[in-house]
């Protein structure tokens, strides 16, 4: 690449990352999630505003070289986001409330997903479909969008509100871990079916089988192998640079996944889980460093590039409104019923329902993957991103309100469930 080509790329990244941090700071000062500012940065730089002005289309990567590099930064930010999320899962998931977690996950997630699958054929319209979207893939994406819960966003909200170690937090995060693994598998089926005029059972079965096999091995056998490899005295990379070793493992997971046509998003998620399975201090420190670097550049750049893809010149207000109202109603009612079956009552049902309704990062990742696979249209992509942002913000605001009132998160005998000290609103959302 020429010097001018590199300069233009650096200028675009300067605008995106610099504006993402600035607007993220502004949102934090306004007690709003930082991610809103990061996405708004992409909207400002993108075709909806600056990039749409005459003579400034080059800012949005109008050349093939620019588009390729921006796409690489976008995917690297997405993979690092999923890697960090996977690295945090085993730390946050606890199995001492298995009955409650199972009930909330199976009913609270399964019912919305199944209802969306059943109602999908009547709800789908040409306005939702991308170039590769068909009835099968669109219905599955719709089901995931209704049922998904964010692991990164709710864990960050819990940390900001100083309730990460409560039983309420353990329950919600346990549900999120369980359901996200199941929904990622469903997304694998949707991407396998994308662009198929007919249901090719053999090809889809192979794709789904390899993905499930990759997931099962990545959650069970592979972490043990990686743990032994990590502790080997002959592993000079792990012993001398745990950070480099973690990144090498991330790349290795992605390469193996790519060879079997498994989504790299799933691979990055499992790489984080496998690399930090035993949560040793040196790898915990490595994850902290990778997280700081990712949050400084790659993840804000990813969310800014998400914003650049939003179709805000002529947004479908009716689509956005109907999806948010319908999906939130189904999710909240389902989780409330699940919570009642699990033995919770009153305010606890409301707290659980609103918190698990936060779509956050996974909702945005779902939109990104589905758009890149050509399953959904730009208008539906915009709808999913807006829903993810608004539901996450409302969850954080509601929990902050409950804590400020001194109300219990659960009707529990645990003292940790009643927080009376002032809490701050969420400062960032992944």
Could you tell me which residues come within 8 angstroms of residue 178 by beta carbon, excluding any fewer than 6 positions away?
Answer: 101, 102, 105, 109
- Residues 67-104 pLDDT 10s: 788 889 988 988 998 888 777 665 545 555 677 888 88
Is residue 285's pLDDT more than 80? yes
Q: Read off the pLDDT of residues 135-189 as tens digits, 9 standing for 90 and up.
A: 888 888 999 998 887 765 676 667 667 776 688 877 887 787 777 677 777 877 7
Contact 275, 226 (CB under 8 A): yes
Average pLDDT of the residues of the chain:
80
Helices (H), 161-280: 167-193, 201-219, 221-230, 236-240, 242-259, 264-275
What's residue 198's pLDDT?
56
Residue 179 vs residue 413, higher pLDDT? 179
> Which 8-state DSSP code applies to residue 409?
S
**For position 168, what pLDDT does the model report?**
86
pLDDT at 57: 61
| Tokens standing for residue 180 | 């996200």
225-242 mean pLDDT: 87
Token pair of 184 as six digits: 């990622």
Q: Which domains does the chain have, with CATH numbers?
A: 83-297+310-417 (1.20.1530.20)
Please give the residue that has the higher pLDDT: either 33 or 101.
101
The predicted structure's pLDDT at residue 260: 87
Residue 365 has a pLDDT of 80
Of the candidates 364, 362, 358, 342, the one whose C-alpha atom is nearest the C-alpha of residue 390 is: 358
Using the predicted structure, report yes or no on whether residue 406 has a pLDDT greater than 70: yes
Rg of the chain (C-alpha set): 21
- Confidence at 20, pLDDT banded by 50, 70, 90: very high
Query: Band of the pLDDT at 427, cuts 50, 70, 90?
Result: very low
Cα separation, 29 vs 207, in Å, equals: 46
pLDDT tens digit string along 179-203?
Answer: 767 777 787 778 777 766 555 667 7
Provide the pLDDT for residue 16. 92
pLDDT confidence of residue 324: 92
Confidence class for position 421, pLDDT limits 50, 70, 90: very low
| pLDDT above 60: residue 424 | no
Mean pLDDT confidence for 249-275: 87
Q: Is the CA virtual torsion 75, 76, 79, 80 positive or negative?
A: negative
């Amino acid at each position: 690449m020429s010097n001018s080509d590199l300069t233009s790329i650096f200028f675009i990244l300067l605008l995106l990352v610099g504006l993402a941090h600035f607007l993220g700071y502004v949102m934090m000062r306004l007690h709003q999630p930082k991610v809103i500012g990061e996405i708004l940065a992409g909207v400002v730089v993108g075709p909806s505003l600056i990039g749409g002005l005459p003579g400034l289309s080059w800012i949005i990567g109008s050349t093939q070289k620019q588009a390729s590099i921006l796409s690489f930064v976008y995917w690297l930010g997405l993979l690092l986001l999923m890697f960090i999320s996977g690295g945090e899962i085993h730390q946050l998931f606890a199995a001492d409330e298995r009955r409650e977690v199972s009930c909330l996950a199976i009913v609270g997630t399964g019912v919305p997903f199944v209802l969306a699958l059943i109602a999908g054929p009547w709800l789908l319209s040409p306005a939702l479909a991308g170039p590769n979207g068909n009835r099968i893939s669109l219905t599955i994406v719709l089901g995931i969008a209704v049922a998904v819960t964010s692991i990164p966003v709710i864990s960050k909200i819990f940390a900001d509100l100083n309730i990460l170690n409560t039983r309420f937090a353990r329950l919600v995060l346990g549900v999120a871990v369980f359901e996200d693994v199941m929904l990622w598998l469903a997304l694998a089926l949707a991407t396998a079916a994308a662009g198929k005029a007919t249901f090719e059972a053999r090809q889809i079965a192979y794709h789904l089988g390899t993905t499930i096999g990759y997931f099962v091995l990545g959650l069970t056998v592979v972490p043990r192998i990686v743990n032994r490899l990590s502790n080997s005295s002959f592993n000079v990379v792990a012993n001398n640079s745990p950070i480099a070793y973690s990144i090498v493992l991330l790349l290795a997971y992605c390469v193996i996944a790519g060879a079997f046509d498994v989504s790299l998003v799933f691979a990055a998620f499992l790489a984080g889980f496998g690399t930090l399975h035993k949560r040793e201090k040196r790898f915990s420190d490595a994850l902290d460093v990778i997280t700081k670097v990712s949050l400084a550049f790659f993840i804000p750049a990813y969310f800014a590039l998400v914003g650049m893809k939003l179709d805000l010149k002529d947004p479908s207000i009716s689509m956005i409104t109907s999806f948010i109202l319908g999906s939130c109603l189904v999710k909240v009612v389902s989780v409330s019923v699940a919570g009642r079956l699990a033995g919770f009552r009153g305010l606890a049902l409301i707290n659980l329902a609103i918190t698990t309704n936060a779509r956050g990062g996974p909702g945005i990742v779902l939109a990104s993957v589905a758009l890149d696979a050509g399953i959904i249209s730009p208008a539906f992509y915009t709808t999913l991103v807006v829903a993810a942002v608004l539901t996450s913000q409302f969850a954080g605001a509601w929990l902050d309100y409950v804590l400020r009132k001194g109300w219990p998160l659960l009707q529990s005998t645990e003292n940790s469930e009643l927080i009376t000290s002032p809490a701050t609103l969420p400062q960032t959302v992944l």
